[in-house]
Copies of this chain bind each other. A is one copy, B any other.
Amino acid sequence: MASRTATTPEVKPLRFVLRNLNKYIYIRLKDNTLLYGRLAACDTNMNVVLMEAEEKNNDGETIIKYGKVFIRGNNIIYFQFPDLPVS
């Protein structure tokens, strides 16, 4: 297990999210909806814009295609970042 040292940089969560701009991510909403799309924008309220957004079921199958969507941050439970190298 990694140990914390004095040199650990304290990365803010929003900064972590913004590192994933233009990556494809999953977003779980409070009403249990699962969205998948390319992260185009995010602010401090976690309002986000997704491009090529799709609603997925829990098996990862596409249910609905939305295209460009803005999601108000207060509806969001989590973002999941598929494990891709961050440039």
User: With contacts A23-B4, A43-B14 known, is A71 near B66, CB below 8 A?
Assistant: no
Chain A interface: which size bin?
35 or more
Contact among B23, B42, B68 with A1 in the assembled complex (CB-CB below 8 Å): B23
Q: Which of A14, A68, A83 counts the most B-chain CB atoms under 10 A from its CB?
A: A68
Q: Which one of A1, A3, A70 has the highest number of Cβ atoms from chain B below 10 Å of its Cβ?
A: A70
Q: Chain B residues near A20: list those with CB within 8 A.
A: 4
Give bound CA distance, A77 to B31, whole Å. Answer: 10
Whether B8 pairs with A22 at a CB distance below 8 angstroms is: yes
Q: Mark A2-45, 1 if CB is under 8 A from B, else 0.
A: 11110010111111111111111000011100000010111100
